[in-house]
């Protein structure tokens, strides 16, 4: 395609359904569009257009005030040997499951059964917290617990955070 046939690329930004504006996008703008908008809770949505046809859409929703601790296990059953691990994503969300990326809390983790907490951390690049303790502070509302089995049986991970109901996940370590 020659220069006279260049595609016209535009990005439009919406806050709670209201247009904030439109900006050129594409290679000439290094595939970036910048907007200034006043923060308000709700839905922030960007829509990409090329030659008048919508080509892509992405959205971010802010969390509601309610704070819930969520614990999501990568799989319910693992092999009962030291080489297998279970990963538990711990996150602060609202009642709809939307992440609270600006509300962090200390999370405490306890393991019962034939397993150990192999690691616990938040991926915060500036933390001084270690990865071998039983507590950490979330980063952008998230942390990760890693459980290693020490034998066969039912491993229970219990996670707590201030102001949230405790969460439990059960891992079945099998031969």
Angle at 12 between CA 7 and CA 14, to 5 degrees: 165
Q: What's the pTM? A: 0.81
- pLDDT at position 2: 46
Is the domain of 51 the same as that of 88?
no
Is the domain of 151 the same as that of 100?
yes
Q: What is the CATH number of the domain that holds 164?
A: 2.60.40.10
Domain that holds residue 121: 68-174
Is the domain of 72 the same as that of 56?
no
Is the domain of 168 the same as that of 82?
yes
Whole-number Å distance between alpha carbons of 82 and 92: 30
Is the domain of 133 the same as that of 163?
yes
Beta-strand ranges (E) seen in 1-152 are 9-15, 18-24, 43-50, 53-61, 68-73, 77-79, 86-93, 106-112, 115-121, 135-137, 142-149
* CA-to-CA separations, 123 to 119, 127, 152, in angstroms, rounded: 12, 8, 30
pLDDT of the chain along its 175 residues, tens only? 444 445 678 999 999 999 999 999 888 888 888 999 998 999 999 999 999 899 999 999 999 999 999 999 999 999 999 999 999 999 999 999 999 998 999 999 999 999 999 999 999 999 999 999 999 999 999 999 999 999 999 999 999 999 999 999 999 999 9
- pLDDT at position 7: 62
Number of independent structural domains in the chain = 2
Is the domain of 90 the same as that of 41?
no
Strand partners, 38: none
- From 27, 45, 61, give the residue that closes a domain: 61
Is the domain of 57 the same as that of 72?
no
């Amino acid at each position: 395609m020659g220069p006279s046939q260049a595609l016209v690329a535009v990005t439009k930004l919406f806050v709670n359904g209201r247009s904030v504006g439109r900006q050129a996008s594409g290679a000439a703008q290094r595939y970036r569009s910048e907007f200034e908008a006043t923060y308000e809770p709700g839905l922030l949505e960007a829509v990409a257009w090329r030659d008048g046809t919508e080509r892509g859409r992405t959205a971010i929703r802010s969390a509601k005030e309610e704070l819930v601790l969520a614990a999501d296990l990568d799989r319910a059953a693992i092999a009962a040997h030291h080489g297998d691990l279970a990963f538990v994503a711990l996150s602060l969300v609202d009642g709809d499951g939307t992440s609270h990326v600006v509300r962090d809390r200390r999370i405490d983790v306890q393991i019962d059964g034939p397993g150990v907490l192999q690691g616990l951390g938040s991926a915060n690049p500036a933390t001084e917290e270690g990865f071998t303790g039983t507590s950490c502070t979330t980063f952008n509302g998230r942390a990760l617990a890693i459980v290693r089995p020490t034998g066969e049986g039912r491993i229970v991970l219990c996670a707590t955070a201030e102001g949230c109901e405790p969460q439990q996940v059960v891992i079945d370590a099998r031969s």
